[in-house]
Amino acid sequence: MATELTVLEPVSTSCCSPVTGGVLSDAEATSLAARFKAMGDPSRLRLLSLIAATETGEACVCDLNESLDLSQGTVSHHLGILVKAGLLTRTKRGQWSFYALVPGAMATLARALDA
């Protein structure tokens, strides 16, 4: 069953206070939950790791397909979820899509959990 995620604004470094640092607003809780939910799949975590590990900080979808034992359509679906969650950016070059981590996105999530 497919789950629809709302498109979020890019992560800002001041997105969210630490979960243990006070009561989150509804908007902060929704934003954080959507990002953590997007990361709640082993294939998506692997995709984030693969992209972060590249020399240029970005990867072509054509290269990512070879790294996972998943179909091109499944990889594209997972990448789309990560883009909608504000964790990756997508740029088109010709027929190929290139993906990169949103600057500061992972650090913001880490800070949100920092006690």
What pTM was estimated for this model as a whole? 0.77
Residue 14 lies inside a defined structural domain of this protein:
no
Q: By residue range, what is the domain housing residue 96?
A: 26-114
E strands present in the chain: 58-60, 88-93, 96-101
Residue 12 lies inside a defined structural domain of this protein:
no
Report which secondary-structure segment, H or E, holds 33.
helix 26-38
Residue 19 lies inside a defined structural domain of this protein:
no
SS3 90: strand
DSSP 85: T
Residue 45 lies inside a defined structural domain of this protein:
yes
Residue 73 lies inside a defined structural domain of this protein:
yes
- pLDDT score for 32: 86
Residue 86 lies inside a defined structural domain of this protein:
yes
Of 13, 48, 5, 10, which is closest to residue 30 (Cα–Cα)?
A: 5
CATH number at residue 47: 1.10.10.10
Residues 80-104: tens digit of each pLDDT: 999 999 999 999 999 989 999 999 8
**Tally of domains in the chain:** 1
Per-residue pLDDT of the chain (115 residues; tens, 9 = 90+): 444 444 544 444 445 556 666 788 888 888 888 888 998 999 999 999 999 999 999 999 888 888 888 998 999 999 999 999 999 999 999 998 999 999 988 888 888 877 5
- pLDDT score for 19: 67
CB atoms within 10 A of CB 94: 5
67, amino acid identity: S
Residue 17 lies inside a defined structural domain of this protein:
no
